[in-house]
Structure 1
């Protein structure tokens, strides 16, 4: 069985919580994997099942709750402009140093994949590969994709969404019920939602500063500070081998992640048939198999 260590690291004027899963029998040459969760502000819980890669591949797996959410310190009074991608790039850099990691892989899911790309364009010396999972290369592409999917919802659901967004009543039960229709099609098609997902969502809803500030009230009504974010014009600076994955019914539609495939030099893609945004919860064994094969191929490889 794997060994789990939890701890905290001082960061800015607070702390970052982390969880390290080490395999009972390490595979020689298998590099650690740092997992970046989404949201922003959704905490790591919904990605917990990726810790199984420790025993399945013989590598250490690192999770953390990003600054401002989950078990890390919360800062509800922080100014909106303080919540930037650079903050979380610095947190990743500090965590890698704190844990004494040398060569390692990074996997980011949703916002975590956007963050992973932000890390990779800075070409950190010890990064050996990047897995971008269910992520857009720009928020404009994300919003356009969400609008297309929203237009396919039943008309009464569309009307409820529009009515409450225009009225500013996005906490109304009718609006929340309408968003759930979208979520069950394009976010996680396992009904009821897996407990790990519920745990992350409940933490975010209990203290939504980061998510509401950077994103907005939900996945498709993006009015936060990240609304103009893009990394498209910087992707040629990603030099490590990169895997881009998505689900067939993903809210991250093909157009949102196509720039990764077109602009990163060493890249491949994989689409999980029948899955959506949380492919790792819908098809956990297949998801981990695809990721494990990619990681094994790039263990110990020098950067390009």
Structure 2
């Protein structure tokens, strides 16, 4: 296992992207890059994906996105500094720095898709990794990317908001409390926190208490809300940040590598928000995990990792996958 920093130049400034490699990049086996969610979370909750190194012997790469975790923090950056293209550039830079741009796989969770992460004062949309992985693939056409895995991520933020509305309609009493405090801006009120915890336990992570690595990542938003505030706003029920209006739907047809979609009907990211991925990509497989909500790597690990392993080790890597 190795750790390091990849210099990442933005304008006239050079920042540092922290990364960890589980396995040996020089020992053969196609590496897989794991992209964590956000905004403002860290790589820690993605660490269960070390299982892919154990099962397949491939190097597994984790990293903290700029502004998060062990990578450079920029608390005084203006709001307009934080945009999806910044992290897409960072991902492209990391792949080049590690020397794997001609042959790698990519796994993005949530931002990885819109999750409800109830924490004191913050209800987090954890939706950067799927956004970054999808946008990276659709707009940069990386020739060396052999497989893309998108877990729990909608094809657009409007679909995420529609998913959130669906969840709230299913929980009208909770929704009334959340609406009251959202309108008042009282996100630290105990009533608001209790209401969001109810949704959290149904649609974010059904394991109680929350797994330690997931808690570490989630608490990072409280420790430094810079990225969350810029991209989302004060809460996911008052989305006024730079994510507003984001969509990848009109670019999905550009994705030519095989894609695995993972979702759950219990997730805050509802199945209808996944459909555009399935309809607009040529080589695609969609698997629903019925015993999970938004964190299948913790909630349903055996099935989750088996589906990924089966996808990565299929006998005909270039065969059509579509099951529509």
Give TM class, smaller chain: over 0.9
1:274 positional shift: 2.1
2:222 counterpart residue number: 205
- Written as runs of structure 1 = structure 2, the 5 A alignment for 1:114-193 is 114-121=131-138, 122-153=140-171, 155=173, 157-193=174-210
Q: 1:60 to 1:202 in 2, by over 3 A?
A: same
Residue 57 (1) aligns with residue 74 (2): no
Question: What is the match of residue 36 of structure 1?
Answer: 35
Q: TM-score, normalised by structure 2?
A: 0.87
SS at match of 1:106: strand
Kindly report the root-mean-square deviation, in angstroms, between the aligned alpha carbons of the 2 structures: 2.0
Once residues 222 and 282 of structure 2 are traced to their aligned partners in structure 1, the CA distance between those partners, rounded to angstroms, is 39
SS at match of 1:151: helix
Match of 1:107 in 2: 107
Counterpart CA distance in 2 for 1:77 and 1:299 is 49
Deviation at 1:154, TM superposition (A): 5.0
**Residues 25 and 31, structure 2, Cα contact 8 Å, conserved in 1:** no
Q: CA deviation at 1:299?
A: 9.3
Number of aligned residue pairs: 296
Render the CA deviation track for 1:196-235: whole Å, top value 9, x for unaligned: 1100011111001112211233444422110110011111
Distance 1:16 1:167 in 2: 38
**Structure 1 pair 196–298 and aligned structure 2 pair: CA distance change class (3 A):** farther
Residue matched to 1:254: 271
Contact 1:41–1:69, Cα closer than 8 Å, also in 2:
yes
* TM-score after normalising by structure 1: 0.92
Alpha-carbon distance, 1:24 to partner: 11
Secondary structure of 1:117's aligned partner: helix
Task: Quote the offset at 1:90 in angstroms.
Answer: 0.7
- Aligned partner of 1:278 in structure 2 is 295
Q: Distance in 2 between matches of 1:255 and 1:69?
A: 30
Work out whether residues 139 and 230 of structure 1, in 8 Å CA contact, stay in contact via their aligned partners in 2: yes
For 1:283 and 1:54, how far apart are their aligned partners in 2?
Answer: 18
Q: Deviations over 1:72-117 (max 9, x none)?
A: 1111111111111111111011111111113000000001111111
1:242 aligns with 2:243: no
Q: Tell me, what secondary structure is at the counterpart of 2:242?
A: coil
Distance in 2 (CA, whole Å) between partners of 1:38 and 1:298 is 31
- Look up the match of 1:6: 3
Distance 1:233 1:163 in 2: 36
Contact between 1:24 and 1:55, CA under 8 Å: does it hold in 2? Answer: no
Higher relative contact order (CA 8 A, sep 6+): 1
Shift of 1:250: 0.8
The answer to whether the 8 Å contact 1:23/1:55 transfers is no
Cα shift readout 1:232-272 (whole Å, capped 9, x = no counterpart): 11110111100110122011101111100000111110000
Task: Tell me whether 167-176 or 99-108 shows the greater mean CA deviation.
Answer: 167-176
What are the equivalent positions in structure 2 for 1:219-230 lying under 5 Å apart?
219-230=236-247
Q: CA deviation at 1:144?
A: 0.7
In structure 2, the residue corresponding to 1:297 is in which secondary structure?
coil
